[in-house]
Amino acid sequence: MSIRVYRFLIVNTILVVIVVSWAVAFFFATVLQCKDPITLWTTFEYARTDCVVTIYFYYAVLITGFITDLLILTSSLPIILRLQMPLKHRVVVAGILLLGAVVCGAGIARFVTFINIGRGIFANIYDLTYFTTPVFA
């Protein structure tokens, strides 16, 4: 096994560990964002006490999710550019994989939407369900 392939395997293993750790961490952060987890499912967001500020939690999820999307998107490009095929074919393969940039674009759009949601929440409009509908629609 060449050193390049070994390095690629190490980088991808690290990326897998990062993504799985990210998912597990935010799963538990979501479930345990209130001192009493039942509160999360039985009360409206504006009526909750002893919980984290949700909008900052959403910002953290979106920013770190976007960063992991970028890492995944760019991880394969160095290998593709070193393939033993004509440049035209390498560009086509890289272009197909770079369609994942649409996911990054969606992440940016969600972040912009959440910034607008945050402005509404900080303006004392507490209907989070109304504001977050465009994010999940």
Q: CA geometry: angle at 24 spanning 19 and 25, to 5°?
A: 95
Question: Would you say residue 43 has pLDDT above 80?
Answer: no
Task: Point out which residues pair with 34 in neighbouring strands.
Answer: 51
- Residue 13 CB neighbour total at 10 angstroms: 10
Percent of the chain with pLDDT over 90: 20
Concatenating the DSSP letter of every residue in 40-77 gives HHHS-GGG--SB--HHHHHHHHHHHHHHHHHHHHHHSH
How many angstroms separate the Cα of 57 from the Cα of each of 68, 69, 72, 76?
Answer: 17, 18, 23, 30
Give the model's confidence band at 120: pLDDT under 50 very low, under 70 low, under 90 confident, else very high.
low
Q: In the prediction, which pLDDT does 5 show?
A: 77
Give the model's confidence band at 67: pLDDT under 50 very low, under 70 low, under 90 confident, else very high.
very high
Instruction: Round the average pLDDT of the chain to a whole number and report it.
Output: 82
Contacts of 45 (CB under 8 A, 6+ apart): 54, 126, 128, 129
Give the model's confidence band at 78: pLDDT under 50 very low, under 70 low, under 90 confident, else very high.
confident
Give the model's confidence band at 34: pLDDT under 50 very low, under 70 low, under 90 confident, else very high.
confident
Q: Give the range among 1-5, 62-66, 81-85 with minimum mean pLDDT.
A: 1-5
How many angstroms separate the Cα of 84 from the Cα of each of 7, 79, 96, 105?
Answer: 18, 10, 17, 31
pTM attached to this predicted model = 0.74
Q: In the prediction, which pLDDT does 33 show?
A: 85
Question: Would you say residue 46 has pLDDT above 70?
Answer: no
CA atoms within 13 A on the CB side of 59: 10
| Residues listed for the chain | 137
